[in-house]
Amino acid sequence: MDSTTAIPQPTLASDLDDTCELLLIRHGRSADVVPGSPESADPPLHVDGVAQAAALDERLAGKAIHAVYASHLARAVQTAAPLADRRGLDVVQFPDLEEIRLGDWSNGEFRRRAAVRDPEWIAWSRTGLWDGIPGGEPDASFRTRVAGVIEQLALDHRNQTIAVVAHGGSIGAYLAHVLGVHRSLWMTVENTSITLVRVSEHGHVVITANDCHHLYDPVLGH
């Protein structure tokens, strides 16, 4: 190459050797629940969530996906199912991909406190960490739990693309873990949004986060 040759700008996304492409997908909207009711422990998709999952599936129809994983919770499995069915794959479930374990705020109590703007909930939410929920899972343990599963899947699927359907907290905690972000509650993760991360032995490259253009444009707000 001589000194007169024009050279294009480089990009970190150009080298795909031994790289796993992760499609980190949040489940669709979950059903409304009465706190403390039996269904509050594991709500299925809301009718809107079913439509969101269908829109996601249609958007990714032309995308090569080699495996589909999900937490064991109904809303994640139901969101993953169309992606797997289209490709003749199974949804492989990992309980450790589930959302933060909320302790005393489980079974709809977290939702109730958020809905009524409970002062204790507001004070907790401003910390940016999952610590501080009575009986809840520690923030560091949550990050380690989720990252352990996703990092192993990335190792198992070098030179492949996989879909991992999980939860807003799980996706935010994973990215905080790998990027060294102090706050686990640091990003918006919409229902059925796609966060694309390429993982190799050299590290992690985030291509896009919270991409939900199959539902609306988050920049324009509609």
The tokens for 202 are 């050299």
Question: Exposed/middle/buried for 148, CB within 10 Å: 0-12, 13-18, 19+?
Answer: middle
State the pLDDT at residue 15.
Answer: 59
All residues at 6 or more sequence positions from 127 whose CB lies less than 8 Å from its CB, including other chains: none
Give pLDDT tens digits for 80-126: 999 999 999 999 999 999 999 999 999 999 999 999 999 999 999 99
The model carries a pTM of 0.94
Give pLDDT tens digits for 38-71: 999 999 999 999 999 999 999 999 999 999 999 9
